[in-house]
Amino acid sequence: MALASRKLRNRLDVFAETGELNEPMVEALRNLVLIMDAGWQTSNSFAPVPGQSPFARYEQALVVNEVAEPFRQDVVSGKLRCIADGTVQSTDRGATVRDIKEFLYDLENRALYKYSEESSEREW
């Protein structure tokens, strides 16, 4: 999940400069939106988590929703949707991308922390 967050941030840099979207980026953004929209289901470990993305496992969906909460999950979800749908205005593109990159940066760091925590529990 950390690597996927970093790759998505890098792709968003290109989008901010050119306005061009590519299919892997759009798919990753839509998967994040689906996970946030299904956030209420993450309280149930048997609930289906959408997609086959690096963000789609149950534990990862919990982290995505946890990280999105301070950013106001509905705002993050809306900005992700605008980028994925190509409806973000060119004048707003830089600010929108900056906000999403901040969210993804926190997501990457939270994923790295969680991985480090799990590795130390296994004494690796």
Give DSSP secondary structure letters for 14-69: HHHHH----HHHHHHHHHHHHHHHTGGGGGSTTS---SSSTT-SHHHHHHHHHHHG
Give pLDDT, residue 62: 83
Give pLDDT, residue 41: 58
Give pLDDT, residue 124: 53
Nearest Cα residue to 33 out of 66, 70, 89, 82 = 82
Q: What is the mean pLDDT of each run of 10 residues along the chain (124 residues)?
A: 92 94 93 80 51 66 88 93 94 95 95 76 59
Nearest Cα residue to 88 out of 99, 104, 72, 103 = 99
Give pLDDT, residue 75: 94
Give pLDDT, residue 56: 59
Domain ranges of the chain: 2-121
Return the SS3 of 91.
coil
Give pLDDT, residue 38: 77
Give pLDDT, residue 92: 93
Cα–Cα distance measured from residue 9 to residue 12, given in angstroms and rounded to the nearest whole number: 5
Structure tokens at 105: 């940066």
